[in-house]
Structure formats: C-alpha cells, structure tokens
Amino acid sequence: MNWEMFINLEQNKSYYQALTIFLENEKKQGKKIYPSEALYFNALKLTPLEKIKVVILGQDPYHGEGQAHGLSFSVPDGVKIPPSLRNIYKELASSVDGFVPPESGNLTHWAEQGVLLLNAVLSVEKSNAGSHANQGWETFTDNVIKQISETQSNIIFLLWGSYAHKKGRLIDTTKHHVLKSTHPSPLSAYRGFLGCDHFKSVNEILLNKGENKINW
C-alpha cells in the first residue's frame, strides 16, 4: 500500500463522495477555498508511507490569503510566520543545539525528511476557521493515522493540544511513541508546549534506533 493507492480506495467510499459534493457546492457558491485542490494531499505526497518517522498533527489549514499549502503549521516562503509556528521555532531554539529560527515558515524540508505534517481537515473557506469541519475530512485523516499505526512501527506521534490528544485513540501505543503537550498557540504555549523538549526527544529516539535524526 502506498498513499496513491490509499487515496484511491478512500475516494471510492460514500463519505468521501459526500465530501466531494460539499466541496463542489462551496465552489459553485463562489467561496474561496484554501489550499488549492492540488495541495490537499501535499503532506502525503511529500512524505511517503514507508518513509515516515514522525507525525505532527494539526487541526485546520490556515485560512488567510496565501498561507495554506497542505502541511500542518507550515506556510510558503515569503509569508509571515504565524504565531503557533513562532512558538515552535522558540521551542526548537531552546532545546535543539545549533537551531537558529529561520526567516521562512516553510516546513517542506521537514516533510522531505520523514515528518508527516498532517492536518485533520484538509481544506477551509477563506477567513472562516473550521468551516470545513465535520464534512468527511476527519474520517479520511483518521484512516491515514490508522494506516500508519497498523502498517508501520516505531513512529513518533506529536500530539499538541486537546484536539490532537483525542487522536491518540487511533494509535497503537505498544509499537509507536506518543508525545503530548499543550498546543503551541499563544493561548496555551506557556502551559506546557514551551519546555516540552519534543524535538530533542524525537532525535534521541531516532538515534537510539540507529536512524538519522531530523535536521529541524
């Protein structure tokens, strides 16, 4: 099984056909949807199933102009770094030797090293956070998580915030690592995310397995 086969199987299911109708209707009404349809599965395209080392779960794509590009927490080059990602960089700078916060918020280089940057919902209406929740995307991405849990081993899942914590039920903790903290958003980062040492822990786990660490 690879992601292309997985996506084809899911797209034949009734929930996904209902999701497709919803998205088509939104577009017919003239609503602006982010990211572009070509980027819905960007996380899966950049991080093949058998190459995954780490999964970072997000909730919803960014809903501002030019922000979303199919990777959780990430924005394209040239786009202002969002507050949650600033806190992610702050945590990296305090816990990973030699990390200097970059001027870009583009995390594509993480994805290419085996960090799956997966949002639970893969599209959103412009300026309307959470507008595509409960339309089918969660079923799709829950099945992504289950597929990883069932077919891979020793994957490190980073679950930040209560929404991500609920996804822990999909993960077989007897064969995977699950690290939890509060969300990196300014509302909660100081209640546990900053100082969680997740990025340092990820590299320690990988090195103990004899694998290359992530160059954050």
Chain segment 120-156, per-residue pLDDT in tens: 999 999 999 999 999 999 999 999 999 999 999 999 9
Q: Give the pLDDT of residue 211.
A: 96
Chain segment 94-125, per-residue pLDDT in tens: 999 999 999 999 999 999 999 999 999 999 99
Question: Which of the residues are catalytic?
Answer: 60
Q: Nearest to residue 180, comparing CAs of 201, 200, 165?
A: 165
Q: Which CATH class is domain 3-209?
A: alpha beta
Q: Give the pLDDT of residue 148.
A: 99
Chain segment 78-92, per-residue pLDDT in tens: 999 999 999 999 999
DSSP one-letter code for 117: E
If you average pLDDT over residues 59-73, what whole number do you get?
A: 98
Chain segment 174-187, per-residue pLDDT in tens: 999 999 999 999 99
Report the alpha-carbon distance of residue 90 to residue 131 in Å, rounded.
29
Chain segment 192-202, per-residue pLDDT in tens: 999 999 999 99
Distances (CA, A) of 31 to 4, 60, 75, 156, 203: 28, 17, 21, 37, 42
Q: Give the pLDDT of residue 60.
A: 94
Q: Nearest to residue 38, comparing CAs of 113, 106, 133, 123?
A: 123
Report the alpha-carbon distance of residue 107 to residue 115 in Å, rounded.
9
Q: Give the pLDDT of residue 204.
A: 98
If you average pLDDT over residues 151-179, what whole number do you get?
A: 98
The structural domains of the chain, with segments of one domain joined by +, span: 3-209
Q: Give the pLDDT of residue 99.
A: 97
Tokens of 146: 């289950």
Chain segment 18-31, per-residue pLDDT in tens: 999 999 999 999 99
Q: Give the pLDDT of residue 21.
A: 99
Mean pLDDT of the chain: 98
Most distant pair of Cα atoms in the chain: their distance: 53
pLDDT band at 65 (very low <50, low <70, confident <90, very high): very high
Strands 156-160 and 54-58, bridge-based pairing: parallel
